[in-house]
Structure 1
């Protein structure tokens, strides 16, 4: 596909961090819904290894996540300086949502093969600002270049799954009903990240004509208590099947609760862990140089 060659995240890097299996669900209802659950690989203490994931993303993908191709290619700075420039865009706050946004980027590029086409972090004028609107924008362009599938990101890292799910749909509702989604289209047209003038012209034209298929790509990472009170390795398949079916039912119930959501398309990535607080701490430690 025309955009696929610009995917930065390598599938083998994703597989280093996550178990080789995944659980998948695709709806057969009116609203197209895909739900995938992945588990972090375990460390030597049989705990989900957040450190491996944070090191892989922070050290390998921070720069392409944060900076446009033109800024990177035109820089006279060394790799370390460019990485530091990207790092300085982050809010070093305990409850930052930017960790989830980074992980969502990793998932969308590795699994959907949809490259990021808008570097929202690079649009910040102050590191203490939050990214407004969608948490990420990725795309797939049809072979005949007549349709743009636009993935609009929402990332939530909460201790409680229900709270994360509610917050996800509140954000999506705000984006759609207040027409903030039109601003996302404008940002892509004005700040397209890839150095390819013809490709940009094609995508800008499709956006102007609204030949777009928006998809909400949502990461929900949450605390799963069962990680710490069952024999994870022995009961792994059964454990994952049970919690996955439970969360699929909750997502579908939320979609079916509102006609607005029933008209949208979704792609969910579920990431259970023993502690989202530890997950955030690991990422912040890497960003701070620990």
Structure 2
């Protein structure tokens, strides 16, 4: 991340892209089928990735989960706390980072149904693929790891598509379901109170804005000042915010059950053939809920069996059933 003096000389968009975390890449465990597909008659943008297949055409689900789990500290722990861990000797830094990782993992539910694994994956894609840094992670605000937080699943930010100096705030919804239809429906329903409510909105939106005001942690004080001036509902800059959304839609999809049943090319061809129907479902839901004019990025993630994804993530994070 650049210093505050350099950031102050950049446009808002340049500054935010400079602090987005790129990681080490996911191309070895996540195959891209479609990116930046514009859904007709809406401003929805669809992306589709599937679990990568190995040389025997078997899904690398556990490897994908391991790669996602490497991001857990960045997802849960505020940037300012992570930056303080850079003080001291190399050995001290390693110990501090190990402690932070343990602290981050302890915030996740160890048993029962949970959407937290999908929320972590959505964070990884938002930062590494769209270059949209996280404004607020609510996992760090949990007081009981066995209780999921309420409200929106996350908040990211960037610059508006048509103006690199205009703040864009993206409300996030992650849904991992057996059914693609069910996941899409719940995601779009969950966005409605935040996108459709004018101004500071009703209690749901007001609560999230209050959390941002108190707990937003973007690392750079220069960027934070610019964002805080915009997200204050009592200031005129609030009226210029570009509101958008990010959705992770994980759903059951048939993967090869035996080695070499299909080639990687054949599997990707089947995903490509199914994608237009998936995109059409997003169009119908956006229009029926009055959300067609909002920039909404959807990450379609056919995951095999979603419960297998959750279990793989529990293994990667070292969570065990009690």
Normalised by the length of structure 2, the TM-score is 0.81
State the 1:225 CA deviation: 2.8
1:168 to 2:179 alignment:
no
Between stretches 110-119 and 96-105, larger displacement belongs to 110-119
| Partners of 1:8 and 1:115 within 8 A in 2 | yes
SS at match of 1:125: coil
CA contact (8 A) 1:227 1:274 kept: no
Match of 1:69 among 74, 79, 83: 79
Match of 1:236 among 263, 267, 289: 267
Corresponding residue for residue 241 of structure 2: 212
Distance 1:228 1:245, change over 3 A: farther
Moved more, 223-232 or 149-158: 223-232
SS of 1:134's partner is: coil
1:203 to 227, 233, 244: 227
SS in 2 for 1:242: helix
Q: 2:53 maps to what in 1?
A: 42
Greater C-alpha radius of gyration: 2
1:186 shift after superposition? 2.6
Do the aligned partners of 2:157 and 2:170 also contact (CA within 8 Å) in 1?
yes
Shift of 1:21: 4.5
Range that drifts further, 46-55 or 271-280: 46-55
Matches within 5 A, 1:132-151: 132-141=150-159, 146-151=165-170
Q: Post-superposition shift, 1:18?
A: 1.2
CA distance in 1, matches of 2:229, 2:193: 26
- Structure 1 unaligned regions, length at least 5: none
Confirm or deny that 1:104 pairs with 2:122. yes
Task: Tell me the residue number matched to 1:126.
Answer: 144
1:157-206 per-position Cα deviation (integer Å, ceiling 9, x unaligned):
11111111111122112444545223323322221212222211110111
- Contact 2:33–2:268, Cα closer than 8 Å, also in 1: no
Match of 1:14 among 26, 31, 53: 26
Q: Classify 1:217/1:92 alpha carbon distance in 2 versus 1 (closer, same or farther; 3 Å).
A: same
Cα RMSD (Å): 2.4
In the alignment of these two chains, the number of paired residues is: 286
* Deviation of 1:149 (Å): 1.0
The alpha-carbon distance between structure 1 residues 23 and 64, as it changes in their structure 2 partners (threshold 3 A), is closer
With over 3 angstroms needed to count, the CA separation of the structure-2 counterparts of 1:233 and 1:145, relative to structure 1, is: closer
In 1, the alpha carbon distance for the partners of 2:218 and 2:107 equals 20
CA distance in 2, matches of 1:281, 1:157: 13
Task: Confirm or deny: 8 A CA contact 2:39 2:280 kept in the other structure.
Answer: no
Contact 1:3 1:140 (8 Å CA) reproduced? yes
After superposition, the C-alpha distances for 1:94-150 in whole angstroms (9 at most, x for unaligned) are: 311000000101111111101112121111122123122221111114698741111
| Whole-angstrom distance in 2 between the partners of 1:52 and 1:283 | 10
Q: Which residue of 2 aligns with 1:247?
A: 278
Instruction: Give structure 2 stretches of 5+ with no counterpart.
Output: 1-13, 86-91
| Equivalent residue number for residue 181 of structure 1 | 205
